[in-house]
Amino acid sequence: MKKLSALTLFAICLILILSCNNKVTIISEKNTADTVKVEKPSPPDSALIPDLNGKIEIKVVFTKNPTSATANFSKLKYNKSKAILMEFDDAALTVTNAYQKLSNTFYTDGCGNNKNYSLGLAVNGRNQYNNQEIGLYNGFAATYAERLPLIQKGMDIMNHSYYHNEDGNFNNGKDRLKNVRELDEMILLKERYKMNTLIVPSDYAGFHKAASAYGYIGGASQGTFDDFVQIGKYNPKNKLSDVKSFNYLAIRRAFSDDWSNNGAQWELVNSLFADNTFDFFEIGTHGIKDPKAVQNFNQWIDNIVSKSKDKMIFCSLREFLEYSYVKDHVTKKEKIDGNTLTIALDYSTVLNKNISWYDLSLLVNSDKTISSVSINNKDFSLSYNKAGNLINISKRKIKW
């Protein structure tokens, strides 16, 4: 009878954990004279959006017939010049504290839309000592239910291996592919989310190879890159010009658990905006574990906002990589007819099929002024800036 009561109590607790529900607040702003903005948030229970494998058309109408008109992809999303990429490792519960700040910290897309700062959460599948499922580890790690509203705010879930270590009571030994595959399958089953990036656990060799073989788009580590020539040969201060067309890209990241004013993140930010010696960096952390660390994290974010002057994106590795990958692999064709430039984009040449962010930013070069812009696919959000000749198209898949 006692055994039955214990099982019943466990089942009730499990139901309560899985039934957590969080609200998402959407923040908008008024249009400026030369911008058009569209907000298209997707609720957690939204319908499944299929992969995009076909063609879309963007029509740019000018005030008069142009002598010439072309459109080229900007190097960075929203035509920014700098980027900071970040992730919290080990499904850190304090990612929820971070998003209290990030959800209310913005850069713009150059067309009247606020975009909140976001990052990645590198997760494991099970604890190697007690085999506890990390996504149900209530009070110790960010659970499945706690992750969902953060995904809505731009967070990415990253593969950090099914078991973090290759030893312990429970492990997959040195089988890197099994660790990558089993975690990918678990997250797909439990969260309907398909991962596409990796954070190497510890300094184990072989994880980049496994992630690439499994079809991921890239990964990061402080110093382990297998046979890949990493971005950031000697340090994490990286140039955009070093990011060439790729199928899998390995990046050297920085790391800091020191959230005092002496942490490595402060020097990186100061150097990033001091000059143009480098364009972006990636940094990881195990979290912000006490009120003082939260306060210093918030101050660090405020310092970035002050220095960046809206010339930077703050996002996950995946969002950064998928923009570069899509713009380098999509097929673009253009045609002028009277006062209209038609831009045809064929996504069938984008071979990676795990894409979450299908976003693209285009800069129009013409001797005439833009009158209006339209797109023929209702799954995409469209925004444009007439004065800046900037066009953004946005589509994110968050449910598989």
pLDDT tens per residue, range 40-80: 333 344 445 556 768 999 999 999 999 999 999 999 999 99
Torsional sign, CA 124, 192, 154, 22: negative
Whether the Cβ atoms of residue 52 and residue 395 lie closer than 8 Å to each other: yes
pLDDT band at residue 262 under the 50/70/90 scheme: confident
> Taking 90 as the threshold, does the pLDDT of residue 286 lie above it?
yes
> Taking 90 as the threshold, does the pLDDT of residue 107 lie above it?
yes
Q: Which two tokens stand for residue 281?
A: 């960096």
Residue 130: burial class (beta carbons within 10 Å; 0-12, 13-18, 19+): exposed
Global pTM reads: 0.88
User: Domain boundaries in the chain?
Assistant: 47-75+329-394, 81-323
The neighbour count for residue 325, using CB atoms within 10 Å, is: 25
Q: Average model confidence (pLDDT) for the chain?
A: 89
pLDDT band at residue 300 under the 50/70/90 scheme: very high
> Taking 80 as the threshold, does the pLDDT of residue 17 lie above it?
no
The CATH architecture assigned to 81-323 reads: Alpha-Beta Barrel (3.20)
pLDDT tens per residue, range 347-379: 999 999 899 999 999 999 999 999 999 999 999
At 26 the pLDDT is 26
